[in-house]
Amino acid sequence: MIEEGSKRGKAMVEKRQLFMEMRAQNFDVIRLSTYRTACKLRFVQKRCNLHLVDVWNMIEAFRDNGLNTLDHNAEINVSRLETILSSIYYQLNKRLPTTHQINVEQSIGLLLNFMVATYDSESHGKLTVFSMKAMLATMCGGKIVDKLRYIFSQISDSSGVMVFAKFDQFLREVLKLPTAVFEGPSFGYTEHSVRTCFPQQKIMLNTFLDVLMADPPPQCLVWLPLMHRLANVENVFHPVECSYCRSESMMGFRYRCQQCHGYQLCQSCFWRGHANGPHSNQHQMKEHSSWKSPAKKLSHAISKSLGCVPIGEPPHPVFPEQAERPQELTHTVQPKPVANNMNDTMLMSSGAPTPTKSVLESPSRLDEEHRLIARYAARLAAEAGNSTQQCPPTDLSFNFDANKQQRQLIAELENKNREILQEIQRLRLEHEQASQPTPEKAQQNPTLLTELRLLRHRKDELERRMSALQESRRELMVQLEGLMRLLKDEEQKQASQSGGSPHSSPSHGAGCSMPMPIRSTSAGSTPTHTPQDCLAGVGGDVLEAFAQGVPRNLRNDLLVAADSITNTMSSLVKELHSVDDGGEDEETNMRNGGDRGTVRVQKH
């Protein structure tokens, strides 16, 4: 009696532990009941380590414990339920690495008490098989489409049509989960729940998936897909600042207002109803579960407009309508543990069922697994009835021939696939080369080559003319210096003959140059170039000579020569620069535009 009392006390403490931890998370501050329910159930799932158990591992555990042979309404006691949970968690620890092992005893105690509190409210100490299957299949990890496929296999008949009475029973059991986390008023069971989900008369698998995975799903089960979305966005990072709490980054969901431009909230602020500025909680918000940079958004929009990305993707793959009941494996035998994935593949090819996750990843592989299991069960049943009979040699040879033909067909298909991939790669390279203009294409155009050759010839000609003019200028400067020396000699002779005349220039005696005469102009007259302006940059001797009283005709000749040289040089430089700019523009046009335009040659 004392031991029973201590066990009951310990069970009560463990029963309250999970709910006390959940209350400490303060989920009740979330104003929306859908998010509140999903967060609470996600907490229970992670606290009991159910998120580490895939739905296919759960199905395998049901089969290992013989639940596939029991009726849905059959009852199992708490001791057997504890045994089933123990097998689930111990198998999980075998799959996990040693550094990520879980506390099996604690996980069993938490989950067992939660299930008893949820489905055994009257303390009978028993649960139905269907209650346990519905709860574990809903709360375990894995994809939602795989869970719904398994649930449909439990509530459909042999022809693959859903039985409304069984779906009603499923809703009764699964809606006890929100009630267990104190969300019963929002998502409790009603008698009209079935017809609100499926007003149709005949429900097949694809219709069942379409309705439960729609956006939005049925109101009574709206928390189920949200719980899976929560699991997918827990580690998603958004490099955006929250408009309310001013946090520079967001984790999880991100919510953008459809009315206020650039107004975004993190999931914590949105769930708690925070708002500031012109934004109101009545505004429509869009939920984002991923982050895309502006460049990625632009490329996605361009690809979508060009038809490279499908506009509407189906929420789930389309499955065959025939009935598939992978969990009803009465005639199958448990395979022996295998050492590696190669043995798993060999067992699959022979028809033996394997619960490994790598084999059961895609829907196509799942379908193949189901067919192999059904074929293997039928073969075992046939061998049990005809144990004394042996296969004739003709059948054996026929099987070998069929396998050989299949291998040859697979090899041919692989070769064809390899050729197609090579052809796609070649076409992609040709398309990239054709879409990028290169200088080689411009060189292949004879018209552009001819015009480019003429431009270069014109440039060489102008450079030669420039060199000739430079040489002429050099010769004229030499002649100008000679004339300056003659003028100096003539002045010295005149100064010696005058012999101290009062009209002699004082600049020669003082050793300094005389100031240059400045010709003033009236306000209304047009200013003319002075000799000093024309001889800007010439040596001081030339300026000094022109400042003295030299003959008028010699000064005019020198001025005309200097003006001619200056004007010729400036015009030549302008022409040369204009031709260089034109040549560069034409080469740029040929590199960028190819043969799209014509080249204009500037005439001088």
Q: Nearest CA to 217 among 289, 321, 316? A: 316
Could you give the percent of the chain with pLDDT greater than 90?
31
User: Residue 314 corresponds to which tokens in the numbers above?
Assistant: 């189906």
Could you give the percent of the chain with pLDDT greater than 70?
64
- Measure the CA–CA gap between 440 and 80, rounded to whole angstroms: 80
State pTM to two decimals. 0.52
Question: Which is more confidently placed, 18 or 371?
Answer: 18
User: Residue 495 corresponds to which tokens in the numbers above?
Assistant: 């100064």
Question: Which is more confidently placed, 150 or 588?
Answer: 150
> Average pLDDT, stretch 176-181?
93
The pLDDT of residue 364 is: 53
- Measure the CA–CA gap between 125 and 132, rounded to whole angstroms: 13
Question: Which is more confidently placed, 308 or 75?
Answer: 75
User: Residue 532 corresponds to which tokens in the numbers above?
Assistant: 């000093």
pLDDT at residue 16 greater than cutoff 50: yes
pLDDT at residue 414 greater than cutoff 90: no
Listed in sequence order, the DSSP H helices in 186-243 are 193-197, 205-212, 223-233
Rounded to the nearest 5 percent, the helix, strand and coil shares of the chain are 60, 5, 35
The pLDDT of residue 290 is: 82
Cis status, amide bond into 216, omega within 30 of 0? yes
Lowest mean pLDDT among 17-21, 227-231, 275-279, 380-384: 380-384
Q: Which residues contact 360 (CB under 8 A, 6 or more apart)?
A: 56, 366, 369
Tens-place pLDDT, residues 111-124: 999 999 999 878 88
Lowest mean pLDDT among 36-40, 263-267, 570-574: 570-574
Contact in structure between 102 and 92 (CB atoms under 8 Å): yes
Contact in structure between 59 and 147 (CB atoms under 8 Å): no
Q: With 0-12 CB in 10 A as exposed, 13-18 as middle and 19+ as buried, what is 70?
A: middle
The pLDDT of residue 49 is: 95
The pLDDT of residue 13 is: 65
pLDDT at residue 545 greater than cutoff 60: no
- Measure the CA–CA gap between 465 and 471, rounded to whole angstroms: 10
Lowest mean pLDDT among 126-135, 175-184, 456-465: 456-465
> Average pLDDT, stretch 316-331?
57
Q: With 0-12 CB in 10 A as exposed, 13-18 as middle and 19+ as buried, what is 522?
A: exposed
User: Residue 460 corresponds to which tokens in the numbers above?
Assistant: 């060489």
Lowest mean pLDDT among 371-385, 435-449, 484-498: 435-449
Q: ∠ at Cα 126 (115, 93), nearest 5°?
A: 45
Going from the C-alpha of 281 to that of each of 261, 273, 278, 286, 287, the distances in angstroms are 15, 7, 10, 13, 14
pLDDT at residue 102 greater than cutoff 90: yes
Lowest mean pLDDT among 26-35, 203-212, 365-374, 519-528: 519-528
Question: Which is more confidently placed, 48 or 5?
Answer: 48
- Measure the CA–CA gap between 163 and 208, rounded to whole angstroms: 11
- Measure the CA–CA gap between 165 and 481, rounded to whole angstroms: 122
Contact in structure between 300 and 309 (CB atoms under 8 Å): yes
Q: Which of 46-55, 272-281, 428-437, 519-528 has the highest mean pLDDT?
A: 46-55
The pLDDT of residue 399 is: 55
- Measure the CA–CA gap between 42 and 37, rounded to whole angstroms: 8
Type of residue numbered 113: N
pLDDT at residue 600 greater than cutoff 50: no
The pLDDT of residue 196 is: 82
Question: Which is more confidently placed, 528 or 466?
Answer: 466
Contact in structure between 255 and 287 (CB atoms under 8 Å): yes
pLDDT at residue 324 greater than cutoff 80: no
> Average pLDDT, stretch 513-526?
39
pLDDT at residue 575 greater than cutoff 90: no
Going from the C-alpha of 211 to that of each of 12, 224, 298, 318, 485, the distances in angstroms are 40, 13, 33, 13, 111
No. of helices (H) and no. of strands (E), the chain: 23, 7
Q: What is the dihedral of CA 261, 265, 271, 276, to 10 degrees?
A: -70
pLDDT at residue 82 greater than cutoff 70: yes
> Average pLDDT, stretch 91-120?
92
- 325: helix, coil or strand? coil
Q: Nearest CA to 267 among 318, 300, 230? A: 230
The pLDDT of residue 177 is: 94
**Confidence grade of residue 311 (pLDDT, cut at 50, 70, 90):** low
User: Residue 201 corresponds to which tokens in the numbers above?
Assistant: 């008369």
> Average pLDDT, stretch 326-352?
43
> Average pLDDT, stretch 90-113?
93
Listed in sequence order, the DSSP H helices in 499-551 are 506-510, 531-534, 540-547
**Confidence grade of residue 299 (pLDDT, cut at 50, 70, 90):** low
The pLDDT of residue 130 is: 95
- Measure the CA–CA gap between 212 and 226, rounded to whole angstroms: 12
Contact in structure between 538 and 547 (CB atoms under 8 Å): no
pLDDT at residue 136 greater than cutoff 80: yes
Question: Which is more confidently placed, 274 or 514?
Answer: 274
The pLDDT of residue 332 is: 46
Element (H, E) at 422: helix 393-435
Tens-place pLDDT, residues 230-264: 999 988 889 899 999 988 888 899 999 999 988 99
The pLDDT of residue 471 is: 86
The pLDDT of residue 422 is: 87
> Average pLDDT, stretch 301-327?
59
**Confidence grade of residue 94 (pLDDT, cut at 50, 70, 90):** very high
Q: Nearest CA to 226 among 11, 42, 375? A: 42
Q: What is the dihedral of CA 493, 495, 496, 499, to 10 degrees?
A: 160
Q: Which residues contact 233 (CB under 8 A, 6 or more apart)?
A: 252, 253, 289, 290
Task: Specify the DSSP class assigned to residue 258.
Answer: S
> Average pLDDT, stretch 445-455?
82
Indicate the average pLDDT of the chain.
Answer: 75
The pLDDT of residue 450 is: 84
573-586 core/surface letters (b: 16 or more CB in 10 A; e: else): eebbeebeebbeeb
Task: Specify the DSSP class assigned to residue 54.
Answer: B
Residue with tokens 């009979």: 389
Q: How many CB atoms lie within 10 A of CB 247?
A: 14
Question: Which is more confidently placed, 581 or 213?
Answer: 213
- Measure the CA–CA gap between 220 and 175, rounded to whole angstroms: 8
> Average pLDDT, stretch 316-332?
56
**Confidence grade of residue 480 (pLDDT, cut at 50, 70, 90):** confident
**Confidence grade of residue 201 (pLDDT, cut at 50, 70, 90):** confident
pLDDT at residue 336 greater than cutoff 90: no
The pLDDT of residue 396 is: 45
- Measure the CA–CA gap between 512 and 509, rounded to whole angstroms: 8
For strands 126-128 and 250-251, give the pairing: unpaired
